[in-house]
Structure 1
Amino acid sequence: MGVGSGSGAAASGGGGATQGGGRPSGACSPRGTGYFLEWIGSLLRRPRRDRDLPLVWLGGEGATAVLDSLEKRLRTTDGRQVPHARADTGEPSGADGVRVLLDRVHELLSVRSFGAGHLGFRHYEVLRCLLGPWNGEGGGGGGRAEAAARLRSRRTPVQEGQAVDQGGLVGQIGAVWQLVWWLLRQGIPAALFQLAVSGRFPGIGRPYRWFMRQEYLVPRSSGGFLAFAGWILALERNGERREEIDKLLVHAFLQDLRRAYPRLSWRVRCWRRTVYPVVLVKGAGPGDAGERLLRLVGEVRCETGWWDPLLAVYARRRQPWNTGAPETSALVPVRPEEVGKGGGTARERGPGPGRPAADDTAWLLPVEISGMPAQDGGEDGGGPPVIAPGAPRWYTHRTFAAALCLALLVPLLGWSRQWLGGPDCLHRPFSGQVSVRSAGGECVGYSDSDAFRFNDEPGQEKLQRVQEKIFEQNRRARRGWEKSDRRRPYVTVVYLGTLTGRNTNDDEEAYAAERQELEGLAVAQYRGIKQPASAADVPLMHVVVANAGFQMRHAAPVIDMIADLARGGGEAPVIGVVGLVESRKSTFRALKRLNQEGIPAIAPTLSGEGMYQGSSLYLQIATPNRDQATMVAEYARSRGIRKARVYYTVGERSSREDDIYVSTLVEEVRKKVEGVEYVEDFMAKGLRREECGYPGMLFFAGRWSEFHDFLRGLATCEEQPRLLVADDSVNRYMANPSLRRSAPAGLPLVFASKAPLATCEALRSRAREGRDGRAAKFLQLVSTTLGDRPLETPRCTGPEGEAPEEPVGERVGLAHDSALLLLEAVESLTERVRVPGETWDPRLVGPVTVHTEVLRLNGERPFSGATGQIRFHRGGGEPMGRTISFLKVGDITDLDEPPREVFRCEGTGADGEIDCAALAAGTGGSQR
């Protein structure tokens, strides 16, 4: 081994070694040995900024004993240890001694994890695969082919006795599976190998790229890694440049250690390595493999200038320090107790990463152990004190990593909840405008495509199919807009309703009212689609279906979603919300939120008193409860009824205070109907026996969902009450065939209707007279039986004078008129503000602008729709003088009998007052 001053090596240890003027004499004290071992332990501890590590050479009579003591200190009993490897060289070895020693160190360091994860040696193993013994194919003498075969055998080894009988296997499978088998076994691995060794693709082949960038054997002149590997094989077989190959081996080994100790914030395992690895080598004599390995490590450090985390300790007994070269001075050792004292810092005295050294001993720190050290024991005499790794920093613990993952999982769950709907509301992401989430066991939000449909419960197939129809027409509306060269107005209307939450049987259609309202929007949507592309001012409507959950209880988050949709703009701006279903406090709060967001709300059926107070942008199509109460009073008077009893219900999980529809209707009936004996909550009180054969009027003023229980209370009566009347909520019950079939047989019923002018008979009459074009067009659309039609089941298709096969449903016309009210305003705005021939600019209309235009047009003339004329109060959203009537069936269970109109109230003047009259078809006789 070459010799030198040794000054740089002392500094490399982190504090330097004090040098004497000559060789120290005298035995090493126990205190000195203990201090030296403590210094080694402090050197192994990894600081915040990595330090340069020396190559420690222990010499003298007690050197191997100190090495043994150091090894004992490294063997801790718990799971975490300093990564270490002990390798003895034995007698001075031959040319392969360094490789054998390095292989042994690699084996010991790579097999154990030492409590901080295994150390990987990808670079070293690639080179050892090239230089190791080889019995496979690929020829001799080196070359690209043999190098490739050696490296492929490392990636996909075939052990002896495990060869596959390819002929027998291939004979048992078909040609296609033979190809698949070949691809899996040979084709794909070979392609991946070629990609890796090319070094041109990030993410694969990193070790091969490193070999082409390092300094030894001039790899850049080879023309590729396989050519470079073939040249290494040829040099190895010819015995040429062997020392440089050994340096490349050492360099690859050190590179693997460097990659295990990077300062990278995203590699948490590396931050858990709080100590450096140490290699302990027991020498045999001058020129042995251990001595040559230390020299090679020092030379690689000096020639490359790259830092590495290896601490090497080499020990040899009774050998002179001066090992050879007369042209150099002898190494000057230091005593153990002098190690680390004085002498300046590494930055001041010795070479480090990126700084060349004067000679190959610059990293060497010689320490003389003269004499045998005393027994090294702990304070209690139970063994030597251990050198253990320090605890990893708090942010590298698995607990912190788990907490961090959970913290990151929360927004991820929030994202999946918003964009994927959560586990209960999964839908296809990035397919249309869909935003749903689970709330109280219901999927609420909105959707405009088949990526998500609301309510897939059994029995609700009609509700699902009308959503599919609307989503299909959304696509057609988009295509029609494109075919018009984007000139036609293109707007979005949101339907907001209650599409989930009710308890139903498998064969029970519990959402008939909502289905009818969606059908009305589908008819209005179809009306625009069928217009020619040249109708530049006729709007095309895009419909978004939104669900606010049971009794609109989740309206607040859904309106937030709708507001985000409206703020997002786009080619089809949101111009209003249609629906809202029931007059409840939750609905009233929803109106307030919509008003805050500047979105108009059009309610087809809401009739609770004062709902307009929730929003200055609210428009109501149905007549208010005070008109219905007036009709109840007038009808009772026309029948000679002088007393009445009123029962009400408010629905499941609700109260009279929360139900604005029921509470205001009951109060209006109490004020306007004469002879009201009492008003009671049916669900709390039940029916009395005196209701059987009651000579006055029993008026049901509750929700349709409890009407069946009310009828079952009358089923035990031998004599039915004289007159049974129900509010307009019972329209939902009458639209549900399964509920009607289970009602008491033979029981007649009179119930209110908010759209008597939109029945099949009334539509035919209005269309026949030629005085109402809107009624004729609506009748044509709902009755068409062609393949391209807006309704799955056409309405009013029976021959004139006979019972229609399917009633149109009052909510179909009301929802149709609600949408048409908005579309008419958009058309008027487009005609007034757009230059003829220009493409559609969504900025021309806004929700508030559309609402203002509705009121402006209504001030000029009442809106004429399928359900009749609509004229709003000035300064309010309630209609004036709307037609309302009573329909009658002789037997609730008779589905073939169409309800017939028996009483009607309609506006007579500008003040909005209604005038009521009995119709000839319904006068006279008793309902008994």
Structure 2
Amino acid sequence: MPEANDIGKLLEFVRALNVPDSRPRVFRTLIRRRRPLPRPLVGLVDVPPSSALLVEIYRWLGESGGRRASPRARVDLSAAGLPPDALAPDPNATGQEIEGHCLPILQRLVEGFSTDDTAMGPIRFPRYRTADWLTRQRVTSDETEAAVELRARLPRLLRSGSPARSADGASEAAAGDVLSRTVFAVLALWPVLRLWLWISGGRIPGMSKVTRWFMRQRYLAPELSDSFLGFATRLTASGRSDENDEQIAKLLVHAFLEDLRDAYRRPLWRPSGWRRTAYPVALLGPVAPDSAGARLLTRINDIRNETGLFDPLVVLACLETAPARPQARDLGRIGDLTNLDTLESLVDRPSSDVQPDPLQRWLRNIDHMRTNRLPHAWSLPLRVRLPDPLNGTVRDPRYAHLAVPPSPPPAARRGVVTMSVLLPVLLLVAATLVAVPALRGVPCTHWPWTAGVSVEMHEGECVGYSDNARQVFTDDPYLKAIQREVFRLNGEAESARRTNPRRPLMTLVYFAGLSYSDANVRYPSAQVEELAGIAVQQRLALKKRSESEPLMRVVIANGGTEMRHAPRVVDKHLRGLFADDASVLGVVGMDRSSTATRTAITRLGDLGVPVVATTLTANDLANASPLYFQATPSNAEHAELIVDYVEGARYPRSSDKAGQPRFRKVILYYPQVPTDLYVTTLVDSLTDKLARRAIEIERRTWTTQHELNRFPPFCTPQFDRETLLFYAGRNDDFPAFAGSVANGCLSGESPAILGNDTLTRVIADPEVSKGLPPGLTVRYVAKAAPAILGGRACLEGRAEVGTAKVPAVYAALCDTVPELIADLRGYSDVRWTDRPSWVGDRLGLGYDASGLFLNTVRVAETGDRLPSRSAVAMQLRDTAVQGVTGYIDFTSGRVAKTSSLAVLVTEAGGEVPHRCLVMFPITPGEKGAPGSDGCPAGTGKTAATDTGGAKPGDDSDLEDWVKPPKSVG
């Protein structure tokens, strides 16, 4: 029969001591809020000196390995290598630092608890290590310089034993650039700043809590020192000769216990404290009376009595002799501990008066004993029966589960904590990615802090504005290139402003539809030409050096397909730009006459922003805003020109019907789109004026482009050659219309087609014009005929419009266009040799519209300051200037009715020069012949005869024109 022993009870007892809660939960602990009680200093009596009990318990506590082992440290007090206490420094020691420690046993415990094999994290001992380091310092200076010498050494303590860096300056010498020197300077200053914060005594929360603790604890009377450095010098080997050794020892032990308290504190914001589900166990033995081990236990007892603070240390010491007081009890008398939640709850368990439980009895008396500061208040000596020999009974598999600390609360587990931290971060990142699409690399995005760009993806299109190359609109390479060139010129303008601060720098917004939801409605060449005209004005402004000459920046705004998103762009993007930047004086462009464009004009007027439209012609647009200006005549004037052309057209002199009316009937082709103000007002004006002139009218409409293919062809025997087909639709439908009506026609026999001014977009785009029926003769209305009639000569730097004289503004345009084209050829993916051989009307319109704003700033008497937008609008009302497109006069109204308007003719897809048939306003020719067609000399039907007579195929063979009696041109 095996001998009875207390091994099982001892291991249950150890678990009850070192496990604060068998089922740790965060909220239950917070709600219960029962004050934890320090564990007794357990002394095991009747343990043979040769027993390996403490060794076995140490191994048993670590059997779970890194999974969840208890913090533990064992010190063999009988070991020959264990030095004695050295509170009094060795007078024969030399050097700045003493190797030995004041309390070697305490040092061994610190080293043991600092290891990280518990899955709870290592226990740091900043206070103890500071106190221990200070007690090993030898200060050789006198009392007045001791603090200075110690301060110079403190960085070594803060570096936690890392080797000091070499002071030879080799690193700094290797850093030759400014950035490296700056980095080295910052790194060199950080230790100085950190040292100041550390010894500041609590000025910066969290940075000096260790030094603050030293100045507030009770041992060695820190209040006698003016600062932490003064107190620290009292702890040094050369400064503590006048101090009480016992006070120094208690300071070290108190620092050790405070570090344990700090590690086991459980604030909600520090999950690491909640993961420490097992108290640290110190295994000491054998402890002889009046030995260093006995004195350490006494100091722990006294510190607990004197401070009244909790500490989590569990001490299990093997005593060589039983103490006189308190009386040693049998371990076997301790009741069942297997179902104990916490040690404190044992107080509430009923007890037996016959066999009192020593642990329960101690728990019930500890408050009385600690209050009376009994020297044995925390001691609990127990007699334990052990088998001889142990033979592995401590590590019996039946007791292995007792060594495993409980799992931490779910809320404190590393995975939960990691997810608790990562989940808000992930949600924040996700929200940021949603709010800042630029983080996801979305093309149509901008950073919230990025200046000069405000865009969004709306209904599949990138709309908004940009003033730099970080954001360009559309995917057309030519349109992208001209935008980048405009932005490059923006940079040059800003640079010129910095060089000459007295030159005013104005900003214009070019607002147009630069993206397309449907490839069928693409017309990027039109916008390329308008931006090219604006870029020419930018270049001309940069060439000038006078302080009175303003510079120009351009912001490019995209209103989307057919400007359908223009009101949204004004409300969500441009409104903020106008509010933040007073240098933005107005808007040019506006692209097309539609209800969306009209709404945008109204909202811009509400914001006090002047608008100069380049190509808008719908009637009554001036009523949308008092700040709206139109550089071209309205549709009423367009209709007047068309009716005059129809009524005045005659068969040419080479025809058998020479001098007879060329057209007797007009068929109007137009789409049924109520929101398209341009089409609806043009058709209404034209219908009214044709009816007044008694010209026969027929209407043919469509709602979808497919219906154009069902129009009857005209090259039939029944076709009346004196019928004019007037196309009043948009440019995207014209190729289908031309292909339908010219179906089956022989070369040179296609019907007479006159298109509205939207055909300039078709003609300006070589890809579109090449898709028209070959040899198709196209008459069309042009708003900037002088610019078109200049032909290739302007592209080559020559300002020639037939043989007529040209204004200076046109000469400046033609002088600068070749420079612009040369720069544009430097952009990748574009071949500017494919561009049309003439300067388009939109280039002239963009040039004139932006020039109007430059002129208003130039004439305003504001010095180096820009005029306000209202001042610009007032100045525009007084403007009457000669432009490339004609005479722009706003003095009699905000619509320039005196600007040029012409009917030109060309052949689709060819390089045939554009010829003028009639131009408003009609002025006397160079030879003073009244009643001429208004065309510049050398650009109309006289061009061929002036150079040697009419030839077949020339426009002189096409028709003549006489001014009708009712003409108002």
Residue of structure 2 in register with 1:865 after alignment: 883
Find the partner of 2:507 among 492, 516, 523.
492
Residue of structure 1 in register with 2:914 after alignment: 899
Unpaired stretches in structure 1, ≥5 consecutive residues: 1-27, 133-142, 158-174, 181-187, 325-332, 352-357, 374-380, 650-654, 795-803, 909-914
Q: CA distance change for structure 1 residues 342 and 809 in 2, over 3 Å: closer, same or farther?
A: farther
Q: CA distance change for structure 1 residues 29 and 493 in 2, over 3 Å: closer, same or farther?
A: closer
Matches within 5 A, 1:122-521: 155=162, 196=191, 199-200=194-195, 214=214, 269-270=270-271, 273=274, 278-286=279-287, 310-314=312-316, 320=322, 335-337=358-360, 365-367=378-380, 387-392=406-411, 397-409=417-429, 412-413=432-433, 416=436, 423-425=442-444, 433-439=452-458, 442-450=461-469, 452-455=471-474, 458-460=477-479, 462-479=481-498, 481-483=500-502, 488=504, 490-501=505-516, 511-521=524-534
Alpha-carbon offset, residue 894 of structure 1: 1.6
Alpha-carbon offset, residue 823 of structure 1: 3.9
Identity of aligned residues (%): 25
Alpha-carbon offset, residue 320 of structure 1: 4.1
SS of corresponding position for 2:807: helix
Distance in 2 between residues matched to 1:344 and 1:610, nearest whole Å: 97
| Contact residue 566 and residue 574 of structure 1 kept, 8 A | yes
| Contact residue 523 and residue 791 of structure 1 kept, 8 A | no
SS of corresponding position for 1:493: strand
Alpha-carbon offset, residue 621 of structure 1: 2.0
What is the letter of the counterpart of residue 807 of structure 2?
Answer: A
Q: CA distance change for structure 1 residues 40 and 462 in 2, over 3 Å: closer, same or farther?
A: closer
| Contact residue 904 and residue 916 of structure 2 kept, 8 A | yes
| Contact residue 586 and residue 611 of structure 2 kept, 8 A | yes
SS of corresponding position for 2:849: helix
Find the partner of 2:42 among 49, 58, 65.
58
Residue of structure 2 in register with 1:524 after alignment: 537
SS of corresponding position for 2:280: strand
What is the letter of the counterpart of residue 561 of structure 1?
Answer: H
| Contact residue 870 and residue 882 of structure 1 kept, 8 A | yes
Distance in 2 between residues matched to 1:76 and 1:440, nearest whole Å: 66
Distance in 2 between residues matched to 1:77 and 1:589, nearest whole Å: 77
Distance in 2 between residues matched to 1:478 and 1:465, nearest whole Å: 20
Distance in 1 between residues matched to 2:670 and 2:46, nearest whole Å: 104
SS of corresponding position for 1:521: helix
Q: Deviations over 1:98-142 (max 9, x none)?
A: 757765665566524647x6655678789999999xxxxxxxxxx
| Contact residue 492 and residue 542 of structure 1 kept, 8 A | yes
Alpha-carbon offset, residue 460 of structure 1: 3.9
SS of corresponding position for 1:278: coil
Q: CA distance change for structure 1 residues 338 and 152 in 2, over 3 Å: closer, same or farther?
A: closer
| Contact residue 722 and residue 926 of structure 1 kept, 8 A | no
Unpaired stretches in structure 2, ≥5 consecutive residues: 1-8, 86-102, 137-149, 165-169, 176-182, 327-355, 387-398, 650-661, 691-695, 826-834, 924-930, 942-954, 960-969
Residue of structure 1 in register with 2:147 after alignment: none
Q: CA distance change for structure 1 residues 599 and 295 in 2, over 3 Å: closer, same or farther?
A: farther
Distance in 1 between residues matched to 2:738 and 2:296, nearest whole Å: 100
| Contact residue 500 and residue 550 of structure 1 kept, 8 A | yes
TM-score normalised per structure 1: 0.65
Q: Deviations over 1:559-615 (max 9, x none)?
A: 53322222224xx52221212212234333333432333322221112234444543
Find the partner of 2:553 among 539, 542, 547.
542
Find the partner of 1:740 among 769, 790, 794.
769
Find the partner of 1:807 among 800, 822, 838.
838
Find the partner of 1:753 among 767, 779, 782.
782
Q: CA distance change for structure 1 residues 648 and 75 in 2, over 3 Å: closer, same or farther?
A: farther
Distance in 2 between residues matched to 1:702 and 1:73, nearest whole Å: 95
What is the letter of the counterpart of residue 58 of structure 1?
Answer: V
Residue of structure 2 in register with 1:617 after alignment: 627
Q: CA distance change for structure 1 residues 44 and 820 in 2, over 3 Å: closer, same or farther?
A: closer
Alpha-carbon offset, residue 767 of structure 1: 12
User: Once structures 1 and 2 are overlaid, which stretch shifts more, 42-51 or 597-606?
Assistant: 42-51
Q: CA distance change for structure 1 residues 883 and 852 in 2, over 3 Å: closer, same or farther?
A: same
Larger Rg: 2
Find the partner of 1:697 among 715, 724, 738.
724
Alpha-carbon offset, residue 369 of structure 1: 6.0
Find the partner of 1:848 among 870, 873, 897.
870
Q: CA distance change for structure 1 residues 685 and 371 in 2, over 3 Å: closer, same or farther?
A: same
Q: CA distance change for structure 1 residues 881 and 152 in 2, over 3 Å: closer, same or farther?
A: closer
| Contact residue 591 and residue 601 of structure 1 kept, 8 A | yes
SS of corresponding position for 2:902: strand
What is the letter of the counterpart of residue 883 of structure 1?
Answer: S
Residue of structure 2 in register with 1:816 after alignment: 847
Distance in 2 between residues matched to 1:712 and 1:241, nearest whole Å: 113
Find the partner of 1:583 among 593, 610, 614.
593
TM-score normalised per structure 2: 0.63
What is the letter of the counterpart of residue 470 of structure 1?
Answer: L
SS of corresponding position for 2:509: strand
RMSD of aligned Cα (Å): 6.4
Residue of structure 2 in register with 1:14 after alignment: none
| Contact residue 494 and residue 546 of structure 1 kept, 8 A | yes
What is the letter of the counterpart of residue 746 of structure 1?
Answer: G
Q: CA distance change for structure 1 residues 576 and 96 in 2, over 3 Å: closer, same or farther?
A: farther
Find the partner of 2:707 among 685, 694, 704.
685
Alpha-carbon offset, residue 710 of structure 1: 4.3
Distance in 2 between residues matched to 1:565 and 1:191, nearest whole Å: 40
SS of corresponding position for 2:617: coil
SS of corresponding position for 2:709: coil
Q: CA distance change for structure 1 residues 428 and 624 in 2, over 3 Å: closer, same or farther?
A: same
SS of corresponding position for 2:838: coil
SS of corresponding position for 2:604: helix
Q: Deviations over 1:174-214 (max 9, x none)?
A: x99x979xxxxxxx999969964884487999999888885
Distance in 1 between residues matched to 2:123 and 2:688, nearest whole Å: 89
Find the partner of 2:758 among 726, 729, 732.
729
| Contact residue 477 and residue 541 of structure 1 kept, 8 A | no
Q: CA distance change for structure 1 residues 500 and 350 in 2, over 3 Å: closer, same or farther?
A: farther
Q: Deviations over 1:793-817 (max 9, x none)?
A: 89xxxxxxxxx99533212332233
Distance in 1 between residues matched to 2:294 and 2:105, nearest whole Å: 13
Distance in 2 between residues matched to 1:819 and 1:687, nearest whole Å: 41
Q: CA distance change for structure 1 residues 568 and 126 in 2, over 3 Å: closer, same or farther?
A: same
What is the letter of the counterpart of residue 609 of structure 2?
Answer: I
Alpha-carbon offset, residue 744 of structure 1: 3.2
Does structure 1 residue 111 correspond to structure 2 residue 120?
no
Distance in 2 between residues matched to 1:154 and 1:462, nearest whole Å: 62
Q: CA distance change for structure 1 residues 33 and 918 in 2, over 3 Å: closer, same or farther?
A: closer
Distance in 2 between residues matched to 1:916 and 1:292, nearest whole Å: 126
Residue of structure 2 in register with 1:799 after alignment: none
Residue of structure 1 in register with 2:344 after alignment: none
Q: CA distance change for structure 1 residues 873 and 77 in 2, over 3 Å: closer, same or farther?
A: farther
Alpha-carbon offset, residue 731 of structure 1: 1.0
What is the letter of the counterpart of residue 851 of structure 1?
Answer: A
Q: CA distance change for structure 1 residues 786 and 456 in 2, over 3 Å: closer, same or farther?
A: closer
| Contact residue 271 and residue 392 of structure 1 kept, 8 A | no
Q: CA distance change for structure 1 residues 688 and 211 in 2, over 3 Å: closer, same or farther?
A: closer
| Contact residue 124 and residue 259 of structure 2 kept, 8 A | yes
What is the letter of the counterpart of residue 111 of structure 1?
Answer: D
Distance in 1 between residues matched to 2:132 and 2:777, nearest whole Å: 98
Alpha-carbon offset, residue 482 of structure 1: 0.9
Distance in 1 between residues matched to 2:680 and 2:66, nearest whole Å: 73
Distance in 2 between residues matched to 1:208 and 1:241, nearest whole Å: 30
Greater relative contact order: 1 or 2 (C-alpha under 8 angstroms, separation 6 or more)?
Answer: 1
